Each structure stands twice: as C-alpha cells, then as structure tokens.
Amino acid sequence: MRPRSMFPEGTATRTAVLMKQAKTVADYRRILCVHLRAAFGESNPVIAAKTGLSESTIRKVHAAFLRRGEAALTTRPRGGRRR
C-alpha cells in the first residue's frame, strides 16, 4: 500500500474557514472530508462513517484536492438548461 500524500501546510485552518462559507451540503461534505484528514489525521473508513460518503468518494475528493487545490472542493457549474 502506498503511503498517504500530505496536504499542504495550513490546510486545516483554511478548510475550517471554507466550511463556514459552503453554500451546499455537497460542498460542505467535500470540505469536511479534507478537513478531517488534515486536522485530525482520520482514516478513510472513519471519514466515510462521519460524512455518509463512500470510501471511494473520499479517495477521489482527496486526490482531486491534491491535484487542483481548493477549486476541487466546490461544485462546478453544469452546462445546459435546468429542467
């Protein structure tokens, strides 16, 4: 098993601020996934149990955050007309 990648310094404090600014429940859960790992070092199964997301989703959120930073934590606009 590959060792976990470390989040950048200050991630825990920045995610605490972002959680207060989250506009949707989905955004809040994604930010919470990163915050629980950065601040408390929680494992993926524990984070999944606390957030209600699957472990694979937790891994995807962490990978996206490491690649794209804070932009990965917010919902991207979807194209097309809403019905």
What average pLDDT values come out for the chain (83 residues) when binned by 10 residues?
Answer: 82 94 93 95 94 94 94 84 80
Query: What's the angle, vertex CA 4, arms to CA 38 and CA 42, rounded to 5?
Result: 40
Q: What is the pLDDT of residue 37?
A: 94
Upper half-sphere CA count for residue 37 (Cβ side, 13 Å): 24
CA gap 69, 54 in Å, rounded: 21
CA gap 23, 27 in Å, rounded: 7
Domain ranges of the chain: 11-72
Q: What is the pLDDT of residue 25?
A: 93
Does the pTM exceed 0.85? yes
